[in-house]
Amino acid sequence: QASRRLAPPLSRSRSTSTKRTMASYEAMAPKPSLHLGITFSALNFAPMLLVAYFTNKGELQYAEAKELKMVVIALIAYMLLVYVWLFRQGSGKRILNPNLVSSDDPVCKKHFANLNRTAENTLEQALLLLAVLFPYPGLVNAHRAAVLVWAYIAILLPYPALMGMGRNEIWLSTMLRYYIINYMMASVLLAALRS
């Protein structure tokens, strides 16, 4: 009878141990994120599609070469800023501070995280911005494209300083730039559908 009394707690213990093992395994296993990627993309694109619907009325139409002058200047300024952030990262790590790159000092870690994240964030959006800058100014609105690229640059410029302020400021800088890209994409799409 004594062994019968001990059996249930022992089996409960095994069951609890198995649950803990499964829970720790599930915590270590990566969770798929495709659904979040789709959701965030839709949440970024949908409001800009609405804005583009009310601010663009025409079809696809070639711009005159003279109309592209300001957007070309803005584009060159943007590409130079990309180079500044990339050279800032490379020189800050490889030329000026090679002996500190692997330091565990919190000040060093914060400094190098700033160098890396500024360059990474710039590059992760660069392809999308450059891709939409082929059709938008040439086929939809060259003047507005120039204004949007200058706004994009103005929002990107303080990114390294915002890194020290917190996540909300960084998120705001990043999201505003995504909205600019999505607005131009939506405008191209709507103009194409109207053509």
Q: Nearest-5° angle of CA 188, CA 34, CA 119?
A: 65
101-141 pLDDT, tens digit per residue, is 899 999 999 999 999 999 999 999 999 999 999 999 999 99
CA distance 174 to 121: 8
**CA–CA distance, 155 with 171 (Å, rounded to integer):** 11
Tally Cβ neighbours within 10 Å of residue 88.
15
Angle at 28 between CA 104 and CA 123, to 5 degrees: 55
Structure tokens at 187: 């405008």
How many residues are present in the chain?
195
Mind listing the pLDDT tens digit for each residue in 40-90?
999 999 999 999 999 998 999 999 999 999 999 999 999 999 999 999 999
> Nearest 10 degrees: CA dihedral of 142, 146, 149, 150?
-170
Question: Residue 11: its pLDDT value, please?
Answer: 54
pLDDT in tens, 6-38: 555 555 556 666 666 666 666 778 889 999 999
Give the CA distances from residue 1 to residues 11, 13, 46, 179, in Å, rounded to whole numbers and listed in that order. Answer: 16, 19, 69, 72
Query: Is-above-0.85 flag for pTM?
Result: no
Phi, psi of 31 (to 5 degrees): -95, 140
Q: Residue 71 class from Cβ within 10 Å (0-12 exposed, 13-18 middle, 19+ buried)?
A: buried
Q: What is the DSSP letter of 62?
A: P
CA angle 121, 136, 117 (to 5 degrees): 5
Report the alpha-carbon distance of residue 111 to residue 88 in Å, rounded: 11
CB hemisphere CA count around 3 (13 angstroms): 0
